[in-house]
């Protein structure tokens, strides 16, 4: 079974071919970071235009790298939400045209379900069901109980900023440009996480919600007084900020595992690429004895292999979209399972 995945929900134009739901035959990501960087963030209109220019060459390259022809595909899977409306439309209309021209089934994929499915790609051991998923991306931060494929319940979510959003906003305050996450991660590696005291928002004992806007405000207030640090002090600041975010994510994940009696944690979304978070969770897993499953960094950030993986699972479950498939910028993870707006 060969499924083509297409992903254009934000600032990555991506396509991938996945065989039998697990084996990645080709995985192409054309990042728009350099295009948006001068604006300090993603400009939706610019993202749509960039997707229009890039999507067909990206798909052609993907098919060539997979060593197949278009007619070998069993289905075309595409992200139909959540995300930027114009950006999503480019991917969905391209997928519809392709499915129509080839006479192949079309599958609409939820971007968040795609992140959750990334862990099933490749040769490594896969998580057992039920498990806990920590979804940490630029638009979402949530703890999700996954009872079986497609059966999820929301345990907690951010009340304000997402973790990735906090990284990006603090990156901007520190003059690191857009996106801040990767840059803070790099600088934090050489800094002292105890150098700067920053608040940890841990509302309620059993609460599994998150809040990162207070931390961002604390950073802004501090920088207004001291100015932006440089050199070793900047690395210390990055390490301290990162550790404040990581601390909360690890503590809440542990709390959720204990409360739900779950023995396995899947971590996904762009922030799951963060080295500080990966190291802290590995230590927690050793101490508490839970199974830890994190995709390689390139499958944590947006990619189309995860869309093809989820598309393959949906295809086997009989899901088919019509050629009237539309996009939903606020698509929930599952009906009745809203996540905080991005």
Q: Contacts with ligand KG4 in 249-308 (CB under 6 A)?
A: 269-271, 273-274, 301-302
Closer residue to Zn ion (CB): 144 or 187: 144
- What is the edge-to-edge ordering of all strands in the sheet holding 131-136? 151-157, 141-148, 131-136, 264-268, 291-293
**Phi, psi at residue 135, to the nearest 5°?**
-100, 115
Closer residue to Zn ion (CB): 137 or 158: 137
* Residues 236, 195: Cα–Cα separation, whole Å: 6
From the list Zn ion, ligand KG4, none, pick the one residue 168 interacts with, judged by a Cβ distance below 5 to 8 Å according to partner type. Answer: ligand KG4
Residue 193 engages ligand KG4 in binding (rule: CB under 6 A):
no
Least distance CB 258 / ligand KG4 (angstroms): 26
With beta carbons less than 8 A apart as the criterion, state whether 276 and 246 touch: yes
Binding mask 120-139 for Zn ion (x = CB under 5 A): -----------------x--
With beta carbons less than 8 A apart as the criterion, state whether 263 and 290 touch: yes
Q: Which residues contact 100 (CB under 8 A, 6 or more apart)?
A: 323
Closer residue to ligand KG4 (CB): 156 or 270: 270
Least distance CB 144 / ligand KG4 (angstroms): 15
Least distance CB 73 / ligand KG4 (angstroms): 25
From the list ligand KG4, Zn ion, none, pick the one residue 310 interacts with, judged by a Cβ distance below 5 to 8 Å according to partner type. Answer: none
Helix axes 213-226, 231-260, angle to 10 degrees: 160
Residue 7 engages ligand KG4 in binding (rule: CB under 6 A):
no
* Residues 94, 319: Cα–Cα separation, whole Å: 19
Least distance CB 161 / ligand KG4 (angstroms): 10
Binding mask 295-334 for Zn ion (x = CB under 5 A): -------x--------------------------------
Angstrom distances, CA of residue 73 to CA of 14, 98, 106, 306: 17, 11, 11, 17
* Residues 11, 30: Cα–Cα separation, whole Å: 9
Residue 138 engages ligand KG4 in binding (rule: CB under 6 A):
yes
Pick from 198, 296, 273, 300: which is nearest to 239 by CA? 198
**What is the contact surface with ligand KG4 in residues (CB under 6 A)?**
10, 137-139, 164, 167-168, 179-182, 185, 269-271, 273-274, 301-302
């Amino acid at each position: 079974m060969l499924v083509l995945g297409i992903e254009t929900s934000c600032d990555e134009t991506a396509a991938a071919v996945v065989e039998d739901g697990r084996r990645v035959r080709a995985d192409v990501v054309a990042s728009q970071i350099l295009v948006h960087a001068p604006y300090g963030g993603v400009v939706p209109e610019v993202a749509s235009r960039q997707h229009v220019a890039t999507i067909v060459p990206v798909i052609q390259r993907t098919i060539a790298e997979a060593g197949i022809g278009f007619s070998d595909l069993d289905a075309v899977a595409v992200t139909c939400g959540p995300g930027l409306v114009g950006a999503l439309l480019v991917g969905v209309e391209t997928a519809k045209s392709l499915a129509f021209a080839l006479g192949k089934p079309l599958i609409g994929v939820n971007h968040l379900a795609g992140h959750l499915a990334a862990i099933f790609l490749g040769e490594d051991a896969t998580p057992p069901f039920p498990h806990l998923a920590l979804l940490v991306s630029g638009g979402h931060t949530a703890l999700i109980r996954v009872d079986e494929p497609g059966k999820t319940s929301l345990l907690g979510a951010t009340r304000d900023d997402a973790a990735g959003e906090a990284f990006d906003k603090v990156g901007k305050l520190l003059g690191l440009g857009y996106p801040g996450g990767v840059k803070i991660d790099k600088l934090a590696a050489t800094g002292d996480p105890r150098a700067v005291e920053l608040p940890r928002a841990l509302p309620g004992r059993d609460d599994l919600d998150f809040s990162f806007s207070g931390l961002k405000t604390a950073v802004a207030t501090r920088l207004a007084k001291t100015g932006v640090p440089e050199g070793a002090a900047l690395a210390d600041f990055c390490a301290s900020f990162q550790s404040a975010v990581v601390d909360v994510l690890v503590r809440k994940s542990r709390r959720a595992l204990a409360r739900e009696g779950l023995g396995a944690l899947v971590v996904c979304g762009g922030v799951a690429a963060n080295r500080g978070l990966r190291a802290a969770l590995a230590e927690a897993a050793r101490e508490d004895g839970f199974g830890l499953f994190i995709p390689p960094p390139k499958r944590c950030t947006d990619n189309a292999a995860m869309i093809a993986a989820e598309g393959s699972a949906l295809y086997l479950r009989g899901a088919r979209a019509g050629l009237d498939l539309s996009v939903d910028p606020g698509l929930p993870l599952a009906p009745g399972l809203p996540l905080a707006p991005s």
